[in-house]
Amino acid sequence: MAFEEAGALPRPRRLPTGRLAVVAGVVLAASAAWVAGLEMPALLSLMLQWLPHLAMGFALNVAISLGAVGLGTAAGTALALMELSSWVALRLPAEGFVTVFRNAPILVVLFATTYVFPFEISLGPWHIAFPDWAKAMIGLALPAASQVAELLRGAIQSIPSAQWDAAASLAFTRSQSFRWIILPQCAKRALPPWMNLYSTIAMATTLASLVGVHDLLEAATEATTAVQRMDFTVAVYLAVLGWFFVYCYPIARFVRWLERRLDRR
């Protein structure tokens, strides 16, 4: 009997992930509505009333994440080059930096940058304010830089050395081959993990609420403390969860699509 079935094992059906995402969204909304119960209109108007405040918070999340990943990418590229350098004086500090910030919890790094940096910088006669969000941005840029360094180093090392030789035989100098031959190929390979990193950092920006940045999560806490209603509290936190999901999930889907496309080549 078993012989007949041995050919093709029934494999589970491929799950329609897109439809599931919609279902997840509906479930979230429905649970919020369920909690709201009969007081739905009051709750809805409260939510609408607080929406601008929450949106302002989320704008800060987006700004911090973009700044942190921008800074982190610039610093991480430099670190990756340092790690691949043949000079120990360049390699060791870069490796040390990457090891420290890959092992440190992001929250702890955020506390460090918040407390260690001054609240303003004095440049001669000028005093430039150093706001909390800027400190948080640097705090997130440090782990981001270590991640970028790792993924870029991996990408650079994955380019066959024949590419370097071929570039050299075409009379490119070492720095020219790196810029024109190697880096464009790396960018393609490093793009999916880099986008995942962006999504991780975007989610990590909520940690900034713990060091006094008025981000979306902080705005949600303020709203619930001001309103003091159980259904509102539940609805607001679920809304924050949904908000981030709507922002980050498309990135995750896009990365998967990109990876599949790169795989096929």
Partner 1 sequence: MIEALIKSFVAAARSLGFNFSFLASAYERGMWLDGIRTTLELAAVTIPASLAAGLVLVLALRSPWYWLAGPSRAFIELTRSTPTLVQLDCAFLALNMLVSAALGGAEHNPLTPFFWCVLVIALHIGAFHAEALRAGVEAVPEPTREAARALGFGRAQVLWRIELPIAFRVALPALVNNLVNLIKLTAIGSAIAVGDITYASIMIWTQHDNVVELMLFILLLFGALNFIVSRAGRWLEARVRIPGHGV
Chain residues in the site for partner 1 (CB under 8 A)? 2-3, 5-7, 9-10, 12-13, 15, 17, 20-21, 23-24, 27, 35, 100, 103-108, 111-112, 115-116, 199, 203-207, 209-210, 217, 220-221, 224, 230, 233-234, 237-238, 240-241, 244-245, 248-249, 251-252
Q: How far is CA 192 from CA 79, 152, 189, 203, 257, in A?
A: 20, 11, 7, 17, 9
Q: How far is the CB of 66 from partner 1 (least distance, A)?
A: 16
How far apart are the C-alpha atoms of 144 and 84, rounded to whole Å? 18
- Between 154 and 178, name the residue whose CB sits nearer to partner 1: 154
As a whole number of angstroms, the distance between CA 236 and CA 239 comes to 5
User: Least distance in Å: CB of 9 to partner 1?
Assistant: 6
Q: Which is nearer to partner 1, 68 or 167 (CB)?
A: 68
Nearer to partner 1, 166 or 241 (CB): 241
**Residue 18 or 160 with smaller CB distance to partner 1:** 18
Around 37, how many Cα atoms within 13 Å sit in the side-chain half-sphere? 8
User: Looking at beta carbons only, is 10 or 125 nearer to partner 1?
Assistant: 10
Residue 138 near residue 74 (C-beta atoms within 8 A): no
Least distance to partner 1, CB of residue 193, Å: 13
Shortest distance in whole angstroms from residue 248 CB to partner 1: 4
For 21-48, the DSSP string reads: HHHHHHHHHHHHHHHHGGGHHHHHHHHH
* Dist. CA 118–CA 168, nearest whole Å: 48
Backbone dihedral region for residue 146 (phi beyond 0: left; psi -120 to 50: alpha; all else: beta): alpha
Dihedral (C-alpha) 218, 221, 226, 230: value to the nearest 10 degrees? Answer: 160
Rounded to a whole number of angstroms, the minimum distance from the CB of residue 233 to partner 1 is 6
Contact 209, 215 (CB under 8 A): yes
Q: In angstroms, what is the minimal distance from the CB of 143 to partner 1? A: 9
User: Shortest approach of partner 1 to residue 202 CB, angstroms?
Assistant: 8
Whichever of 182 and 203 has its CB closer to partner 1, that residue is 203
What is the amino acid identity at position 163? Q
Closer to partner 1 by Cβ: residue 27 or 40: 27
DSSP annotation of 206:
G
